[in-house]
C-alpha cells in the first residue's frame, strides 16, 4: 500500500473511532472542526475523508447541526459480526452451564411472538427436557421469552401480543398482557426469569438476556429441567444463567456498563 493511501486509511479509522467515542455519543455527533482538533489533522483532509465514509453510509451528517455521527452500515456490520461471534462463543458457555447444573442449557432468540432455540446442550441425566433446537414456543409463557422481553414496556407488549387474552398454555402461564408485564418486571428486578408449569406442566426453567454492543437484547440463555427436580434449584440456576449471559454479552462487544442498562422498546 502506498504511503498516502495508508495515511488515508488510518485517518478514516481514527475518524470512526472518534465518532464512536464518549464525546460523540454524549453530544450526538462531532463537527469537522472538533474532529480535526481531536485527530490533529487538517480540516480539508478530514472533511474529504468524512465525505468518502458518508458515501458508504459508514458515517452520516445531521442536516441541522452538520455534525457527523456513526452511520447505519457500521451497526449492520457490527450486528452481523456479533451474530457470528455469539454462535461461535455460545456452545462453550452452554456446555459449562450444563456441566455446572447438570441440566439442559439452551440459547434462544425471539421470533415474533415465539421463542426459537438455536443451540442446545442436553442434560447428562436420564430424565431430562427434550431437545428444543428448531422448535418454537410462545414467548409469554417461557423463561427465555420473558428474558427476551425484558426491555418491553406495556405499549410494546400490547403491540406484540395484541388485545385480549394471551394464548392458552400451561396451568401457571400468564393470561393477560398486564399479568405478563408484572412477571417481566419481577424478573428484570431479579436479573433473570423463571417459569414453572407455564409452557407445559412439569417443566421448570430459568433464563437471562444476552445484550449486544448497543445494549440491545439479541438472545437468551436458559436452563430447563423436570420441575420435580429443578424447582428447588431455580434461584441457583438464575445466578448461573446471568453469569453465562454476561459472558456471551461481553464476547459480542457489550460493555460491562451496558449489561445493567436496559433499553425500553417503544
φ, ψ (nearest 5 deg) of residue 128 = -145, 165
| 64 plus 88 within the same structural domain | no
> For the chain, how many structural domains are there in total?
2
| 107 plus 212 within the same structural domain | yes
Last residue of a domain, one of 30, 49, 70: 70
Contact 199, 173 (CB under 8 A): yes
Contact 172, 202 (CB under 8 A): no
> Does any domain span residue 107?
yes
pLDDT over threshold 80, residue 132 = no
CB atoms within 10 A of CB 134: 9
**Residue 7: CATH number of its domain:** 1.10.10.10
What does the block give as the cell for 142?
Answer: 417461557
What does the block give as the cell for 28?
Answer: 450526538
- Residues 131-142 have a mean pLDDT of 79
> Does any domain span residue 266?
no
Which of 212, 180, 172, 207 has its CA nearest to residue 191? 207
pLDDT in tens, 158-167: 999 988 888 8
- Tell me what pLDDT residue 266 has: 40
- Residues 141-149 have a mean pLDDT of 96
pLDDT in tens, 174-190: 999 999 999 999 999 99
Distance between CA atoms of residues 87 and 241, nearest Å: 17
Distance between CA atoms of residues 121 and 127, nearest Å: 14
| 108 plus 207 within the same structural domain | yes
Counting Cα atoms < 13 Å in the Cβ hemisphere of 9 gives: 6
CB atoms within 10 A of CB 196: 19
- Tell me what pLDDT residue 79 has: 62
Pairing of strands 193-196, 136-138: unpaired
Amino acid at each position: 500500500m502506498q504511503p498516502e493511501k495508508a495515511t488515508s486509511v488510518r485517518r478514516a479509522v481514527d475518524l470512526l473511532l472518534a465518532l464512536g467515542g464518549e464525546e460523540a455519543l454524549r453530544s450526538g455527533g462531532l463537527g469537522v472542526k472538533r474532529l480535526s482538533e481531536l485527530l490533529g489533522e487538517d480540516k480539508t483532509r478530514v472533511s474529504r475523508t468524512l465525505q468518502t465514509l458518508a458515501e458508504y453510509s459508514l458515517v452520516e451528517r445531521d442536516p441541522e447541526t452538520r455534525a457527523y455521527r456513526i452511520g447505519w452500515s457500521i451497526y449492520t456490520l457490527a450486528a452481523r459480526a456479533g451474530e457470528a461471534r455469539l454462535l461461535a462463543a455460545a456452545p462453550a458457555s452452554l456446555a459449562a452451564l450444563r456441566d455446572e447444573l447438570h441440566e439442559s442449557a439452551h440459547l434462544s432468540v425471539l421470533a415474533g411472538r415465539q421463542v426459537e432455540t438455536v443451540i442446545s446442550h442436553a442434560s447428562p441425566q436420564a430424565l431430562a427436557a427434550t431437545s428444543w433446537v428448531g422448535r418454537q414456543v410462545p414467548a409469554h409463557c417461557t423463561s427465555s421469552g420473558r428474558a427476551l422481553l425484558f426491555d418491553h414496556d406495556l405499549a410494546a407488549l400490547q403491540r406484540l401480543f395484541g388485545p385480549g387474552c394471551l394464548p392458552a398454555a400451561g396451568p401457571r402461564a400468564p393470561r393477560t398482557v398486564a399479568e405478563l408485564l408484572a412477571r417481566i418486571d419481577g424478573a428484570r428486578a431479579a436479573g433473570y426469569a423463571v417459569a414453572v408449569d407455564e409452557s407445559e406442566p412439569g417443566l421448570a426453567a430459568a433464563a437471562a438476556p444476552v445484550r449486544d454492543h448497543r445494549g440491545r437484547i439479541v438472545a437468551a440463555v436458559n436452563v430447563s429441567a423436570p420441575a420435580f427436580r429443578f424447582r428447588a434449584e431455580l434461584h441457583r440456576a438464575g445466578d448461573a444463567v446471568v453469569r453465562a449471559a454476561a459472558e456471551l454479552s461481553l464476547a459480542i462487544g457489550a460493555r460491562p456498563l451496558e449489561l445493567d442498562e436496559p433499553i425500553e422498546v417503544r
